[in-house]
Amino acid sequence: MRNSDEIWPLVEAHEDRFIALANRVFDTPEVAYTEVKSCAAHLEQLQAMGARITQNLADIPTAVMGEWGQGGPVIAILGEYDALPALGQEPGVAEPRPLGYAGHGCGHNLLGSAAMLAAVALRDWLAQTGTPGRVRYYGCPAEEGGAAKAFMVRAGLFEDVDAAITWHPNDYTGIMPPVALANMRIDFTFHGRAAHAAANPELGRSALDAVELMNIGVNYMREHMPDDARVHYAYLDAGGEAPNVVQSKATVRQLIRSRDNKGLRDLVARVRKIGDGAALMTETRVEARVVSAVSSMLSSPVLEALMEAHILAFGGPEFDAADRAFAAEIQRTLTEAHIADTFWRAGRAVDSGLALADFVVPLAQMRPAGSGSTDVADVSWAVPTVQAYVTTCALGTPFHSWQLTAQGKSPAAHKGMVHAARIMAATGRDLFAKPDVLAAAKAEHAAALAREPYICPLEPDVMPPIPR
């Protein structure tokens, strides 16, 4: 086996169990804060592995934590298991075959399973070596738009943690660049006055007009905001289906993103003013409700160097001819631009004959690209945090797509998942075994917070949007 490490047998002793967990979660996809079956599956595994279990973290029913070990530092491994709406897809088929329900279009069935596998391997290493320390698996719901980890940070669930480790499925392997946009989701609900749209429209005050004027105002603002900021929107309530009624109530969700936390606060203030202005123009009343918010990512160069050393030593996952053949089928459903973009981000020349990335991309070689957001970022402000990318899908696969979901139970995805567990477990092992490295990461983190203290983007009165 290539570049093996003492932690590898501890991972491989449990890999079949956690591949089965990944498949089980894939088959019961649930969206933000509704992950009842997925959480139950992870809870069942924690119980089977003899963890000390805490449920209902931050008053979130689908958040769970398991801990092993005694004394010493506390290393957290972060897992996720939420899915995305309408991305259910028959697995193993390289053509659209929608199933009509949610699907794991970002690979979180793999993410949580590999994280717990890494934690169990670390449990075994601590026991075998008699090393003092505690490893925790955090089962985190609602990463996709729900900001569960931000609520968990606000509740103090990481106050006694020394470092956090996680990963994300990807189409190549390397350190995940420590860049993520801060964001806030706000629902703007406008209240007007209904009227007959033909007989006496002058008596009405249209909430839908207010929503449309707000969107126009935001669109004009785009010219005057930083290039890397983003604002997206969705109509949650367009006022009904009857055009002959002046709509008395309408709601639009604005998703506001910025490169850093201060930039987000500034941009949110401007968007709120636009909402107020739209209400003033239409003589309606506006209510703004924050649904979720996450911070930008705080880098941990010490941990990134530590994890990258293992990634470079281990290489990428090992794939076989069948894996490559299925990946090539997936690639035939993509555009040349999808594939070229991946190679550009990886800092490599396009290789049209390569379907699966068995190579590793050094962090210094990765090119800056557009970024999304993640609630892992709020954990990064609470404790030093590091993330890996590991290959689980064909080169060029767009995330949040049926192509990604089609590969979610593939042998290649499972191989990447197990490889991610090796990387995370080896990184965690070094943090237990090398106190000076952990101390350096914590000192670096403290210095960063001294320059910019953490301000939780969630006000105390904002609660997780848990369906009741």
Q: What is the mean pLDDT of the chain?
A: 97
Averaged over 429-440, what is the pLDDT?
98
Asked if residue 118 has pLDDT above 80, the reply is yes
Asked if residue 370 has pLDDT above 90, the reply is no
User: What's the CATH code, domain 182-294?
Assistant: 3.30.70.360
Q: What is the pLDDT of residues 227-265, one digit of tens each?
A: 999 999 999 999 999 999 999 999 999 999 999 999 999
User: What per-residue confidence (pLDDT) applies to 367?
Assistant: 86
Q: What is the pLDDT of residues 181-222, one digit of tens each?
A: 999 999 999 999 999 999 999 999 999 999 999 999 999 999
The 3-state DSSP class for residue 190 equals strand
Averaged over 305-331, what is the pLDDT?
98
As a whole number of angstroms, the distance between CA 406 and CA 83 comes to 14
Q: What is the pLDDT of residues 387-426, one digit of tens each?
A: 999 999 999 999 999 999 999 999 999 999 999 999 999 9
Q: The tokens 């990447």 sit on which residue?
A: 416
Q: pLDDT tier at 2 (50, 70, 90 boundaries)?
A: low
As a whole number of angstroms, the distance between CA 90 and CA 204 comes to 49
Helix (H) or strand (E) holding 277: helix 261-282
Residues of the chain with pLDDT > 90, as a percent, come to 97
Q: What is the pLDDT of residues 376-395, one digit of tens each?
A: 999 999 999 999 999 999 99
- By the 8 A CB rule, do 29 and 103 touch? yes
For the chain, residues classed under CATH 3.30.70.360 are 182-294
Contacts of 272 (CB under 8 A, 6+ apart): 186, 288
User: What per-residue confidence (pLDDT) applies to 468?
Assistant: 75
User: What per-residue confidence (pLDDT) applies to 3?
Assistant: 64
Q: pLDDT tier at 158 (50, 70, 90 boundaries)?
A: very high
CATH class of 8-179+297-451: alpha beta
Asked if residue 1 has pLDDT above 60, the reply is no
463 is written with which tokens? 């609660």
For the chain, residues classed under CATH 3.40.630.10 are 8-179+297-451
Q: pLDDT tier at 125 (50, 70, 90 boundaries)?
A: very high
As a whole number of angstroms, the distance between CA 207 and CA 191 comes to 6
Averaged over 451-465, what is the pLDDT?
95
- By the 8 A CB rule, do 397 and 407 touch? yes
Q: pLDDT tier at 113 (50, 70, 90 boundaries)?
A: very high
Q: Which long-range contacts (CB under 8 A, 24 or more apart) does 7-11 make?
A: 7/121, 7/122, 7/125, 7/422, 7/425, 7/426, 7/429, 8/422, 10/121, 10/122, 10/124, 10/125, 10/128, 10/425, 11/117, 11/118, 11/121, 11/418, 11/421, 11/422, 11/425
User: What per-residue confidence (pLDDT) applies to 185?
Assistant: 97
Q: What are phi and psi of 453, to 5 degrees?
A: -65, 150
Asked if residue 368 has pLDDT above 80, the reply is no
Q: The tokens 């449309």 sit on which residue?
A: 212
Q: The tokens 């005057």 sit on which residue?
A: 224
